Amino acid sequence: MSAHGVVNPATEEVIGTVDLCDAASTDAAIERSHKAFSAWRAVSPGDRARLLRRFAEGVDANLEELAQLEVANSGHTISNARWEAGNVRDVLNYYAAAPERLIGQQIPVPGGVDVTFHEPLGVVGVIVPWNFPMPIAGWGFAPALAAGNTVVLKPAELTPLTAIRIGEIAREAGIPEDVLQILPGRGAVVGQRFVDHPLVRKIVFTGSTAVGKQVMAGCAAHVKRVTLELGGKNANIIFADADLERAAATAPYGVFDNAGQDCCARSRILVQRSVFDRFLELFEPAVNGVVVGDPAAEATEMGPLISAEHRSRVAGYLNETTVAFQGDCPDGPGFWFPPTVVLPASNSERVVTEEVFGPIVTVTAFDDESDAIALANDTEYGLSGSIWTTNVGRALRVARAVEAGNLSVNSHSSVRYWTPFGGVKQSGLGRELGPDALHAFTETKNVFIATD
């Protein structure tokens, strides 16, 4: 164990220290998790459902505390942070209905009866990034626990506080000891042990594509199950027949929410050439209207970036492109960066091809539907995207043609816990949330019983 300072990104003040697990304490936690598995999977479905609902009630009762903790640790706006804690509650409630509905099949076969069971996997390792510490943790642990698995969860180095508190709430709600363990620590130590330890049967990894590839390669050595939620470079496609006022008014929030530190950020705006100038006229005041500042203030719409190092990485993109206009942000302490709009000279600029993960958006013109689709798909990523048009046929044609896991028409919403979420191409593998996510945490077992 070693101590690690946690910094408030809006003030640069150290707000606490957290003990980081080392490899030996991680192994010991995995072994305890494995020991807890046989009793947890044997908890009757109704009791497991009741415990998860009580856990959800605990999150709800502590929602404001969790939200304030996220504001302080991650610089999220208070309104976002409340939504994020509420999402953990909702996802727990949603999957609390699952243990009593984990129904197998009875398959007609000659000579006997054939039935299938959805068996839990064992210990599941959940590895979480810093950009949405609460929801991403919940999308992993809630269905994993509901299906009868035990969970070891590693928060990101920079943002461990809400996960630690959620682990305490789970215990207070009666989730048995060692069924959900929160292990703060470094990716190369704790995360790597999750990947390498043979008793961890599945990894749920959310983070960068580069680390995701290493995790997948490490899992291959054990044929370990893996779900990957990786980066994105998502297009916001605006056709000339769209409600241009609404498209321009909402576009800033489609990319600058969470200061652009969102795998679903619509960071490439593609606008049909005939309305390109008009769109920019409407877009500039909308960008200037984004309220950037103290994340604890109710009216704030965008907070700081997560760290000084991340801010200089984001700023680096502006050395190689043309800034059209920028909004405002506070001076002084805090890792501030203004909402920034770029008109790239070419689609090969890094700001167009790479995930910036900050409040920078590019705006590019296209000629027609096929041009828009080609530009949208000109990336190794495929997570989300938006399509703005009043033509229903076009909306569906383009939605089917864009290579991404989550698309929205006349909206920028990607995440609803009732519906599947995940990426294609190098944005990930597998789906979280929705009615089917539970099966990513079970194996189908087939049993034949001879009757002859």
**Contact window for ligand NAD (CB under 6 A) among 70-78, 164-172, 223-231, 358-366:** 223-231
What is the rounded CA–CA span in Å between residue 92 and residue 70? 19
> Which one among 206, 258, 364, 426 touches ligand NAD, defined by CB under 6 A?
206
What is the rounded CA–CA span in Å between residue 335 and residue 351? 20
> Which one among 77, 162, 192, 414 touches ligand NAD, defined by CB under 6 A?
192
Q: Which of 70, 229, 355, 432 is catalytic?
A: 229
Length, in residues, of the chain: 452
At its nearest, how many Å lie between ligand NAD and the CB of residue 384?
A: 9
Confirm or reject binding of residue 130 to ligand NAD (CB under 6 A).
yes
Q: Which of 21, 263, 264, 329 is catalytic?
A: 263
Q: Which is nearer to ligand NAD, 207 or 339 (CB)?
A: 207
Q: Which is nearer to ligand NAD, 339 or 382 (CB)?
A: 382
Instruction: Count the Cβ atoms, other than its own, within 10 Å of residue 60.
Output: 17
At its nearest, how many Å lie between ligand NAD and the CB of residue 299?
A: 26
Q: List, in sequence order, every residue forming a beta bridge with 5; answer none if it has no partner.
A: 17
**Contact window for ligand NAD (CB under 6 A) among 54-62, 127-135, 287-295, 358-366:** 127-135
Please indicate whether residue 329 is annotated as part of the active site: no
Instruction: Count the Cβ atoms, other than its own, within 10 Å of residue 244.
Output: 20
Q: CB-hemisphere CA count at 13 Å for 300?
A: 24
Q: Using the 8-state DSSP alphabet, how is residue 258 labeled?
A: G
What is the rounded CA–CA span in Å between residue 74 and residue 77? 9
> Which one among 71, 126, 156, 161 touches ligand NAD, defined by CB under 6 A?
156
Strands 442-450 and 112-120: antiparallel
* H-state helical runs in 43-186: 45-61, 63-74, 78-96, 133-146, 161-172
What per-residue string of b and e applies to 376-404 under the rule 16 or more CB within 10 Å gives b?
bbebebbbbbbbbbeeeebbeebbeebeb
> Which one among 211, 280, 297, 343 touches ligand NAD, defined by CB under 6 A?
211
> Taking CB under 6 A as the rule, which mask of x and - marks residues 338-377 in contact with ligand NAD?
-----------------x-x--------------------
> Which one among 49, 56, 215, 286 touches ligand NAD, defined by CB under 6 A?
215
> Which one among 214, 288, 326, 353 touches ligand NAD, defined by CB under 6 A?
214
What is the rounded CA–CA span in Å between residue 70 and residue 64? 10
Confirm or reject binding of residue 230 to ligand NAD (CB under 6 A).
yes
Residue 427 one-letter amino acid:
S
What is the rounded CA–CA span in Å between residue 88 and residue 281? 39
Residues binding ligand NAD (CB under 6 A): 127-132, 136, 154, 156-157, 187-188, 191-192, 195, 206-208, 211, 214-215, 229-232, 263, 355, 357, 383, 423, 427-428
Indicate which residues carry an active-site annotation: 229, 263
